[in-house]
Structure 1
Amino acid sequence: MALQQIVEQTVAGLGYDLVEIERSAGGLLRITIDLPWQAPVEGVLAPEQFITVEDCEKVTRQLQFALEVDGVDYKRLEVSSPGIDRPLRHEQDFVRFAGEVIDITLKAPMGAAAAGQVSANRKKFRGLLSRAEAGGWQIAWSDEPQPKPGQKVSKKRVPAPLQVLGFTLDELREARLAPIVDFKGRAAKPAAGQA
């Protein structure tokens, strides 16, 4: 059986989602897991849950056994949570993280279709993820730099225009949550239907 199948079956059998499998130099096998996501029921937000050390230990023990039985060659196994820069791979990931700031890298530059202030050969973008009206996905961003703490911003200054880029999952090389750290704590997300 292939490595991907062994890991997927083992992780799913324990009630987790497989996010990523990575093989590194020196025989390191890195497995990233997450808790299964349930779409919120109308008006009710489920409490956000996170992978714990105990979850990683449980998956590690089971994977060590499964990989040994199938004779998979590795020297070290590392099981972890996705972290703050979680990769987005499937449609469900994009649905789950709609409204969050993400980083995307396109497979090909935008080309001549890019109008406005964006460079036609730009591939990397950071913006707020949302569903596009015509189907697919879009990110919105402003190239205006964030003011530094304590910096006075003139009320007369015209803000940079908001730019929007539509894309499909087939056009992406990579998509990840933007690793933004806020030491003020997590803000409560509005319930569905509220803004």
Structure 2
Amino acid sequence: MQDLNALLERSLGQLGYELVDMELANRGKLIRLFIDKPEGINIDDCVLVSNHLSNLLAVEHDIDYDRLEISSPGLDRVLKKTSDFVRFAGERAQVKLRMPIEGRKNFLGILRGVDQEYLVLECDGVEQRVPFSNIDKARLSPEF
């Protein structure tokens, strides 16, 4: 899977897209990709990437799949890379931890940035420093 991830990141990067997340389902027969670019994603982007990757994966004989899905990450996009937390500083996010901090594993707050190995998250007016190694899941949580 790491080889596939590296192949996809490299190929999408050359097209000007970022691989936000990848899901494999049905024993790897379904590849679901979430892509983004600074100005956002539309259906034409999904079609372009789908066609490009279908051709690329056809050449890679060791990648066996039946279906490829391309999608935008949505308004509640997942945050995985340090650069995601930097890019979305000032936005509201939900962060789930592996191990509790002060008795809590779930935080909802404003992303305030990154400080070396820590995410700085403001919850109820108090800044929390959360080690990236302790983050299980994080995603934007837009208010409507």
TM interval, shorter chain, is: 0.7 to 0.9
Cα distance, 1:73 vs. partner?
Answer: 1.0
RMSD: 2.1
Counterparts of 2:26 and 2:14, CA distance in 1: 28
Q: Which residue of 2 aligns with 1:100?
A: 91
Q: Match for residue 126 of structure 1?
A: 108
Structure exhibiting the larger radius of gyration computed from Cα positions: 1
Match of 2:55?
65
1:10 aligned partner, one-letter code: S
Q: How does 1:1-195 map to 2 (within 5 A)?
A: 2-25=3-26, 27-35=29-37, 37=38, 49-71=39-61, 72-110=63-101, 114=102, 120=103, 122-131=104-113, 136-142=118-124, 162-180=125-143, 182=144
TM-score (norm 2): 0.87
Contact 2:85–2:114 under 8 Å retained in 1? no
Question: Gaps spanning 5+ residues in structure 1: where?
Answer: 38-48, 115-119, 143-161, 183-195
SS of equivalent residue, structure 1 residue 108: strand
Give the deviation of 1:138 after TM superposition: 2.0
Unaligned runs of 5+ in 2: none
Shift, 1:133, TM fit: 7.2
Structure with more of its chain in strand, by fraction? 2
Larger mean CA deviation between 130-139 and 85-94 belongs to 130-139
Partner of 1:43: none
Query: Is the Cα–Cα contact under 8 Å of residues 100 and 177 in structure 1 kept in the other structure?
Result: yes
For the 8 Å contact 1:6–1:67, the answer to whether it is kept is no
Number of equivalent positions: 141
How far apart in 1 are the matches of 2:60 and 2:141?
37
Measure how far apart 1:136 and its partner are. 2.9
Within 1, Cα distance between the matches of 2:10 and 2:44? 19
Is contact 1:29–1:76 with CA below 8 Å preserved after alignment? yes
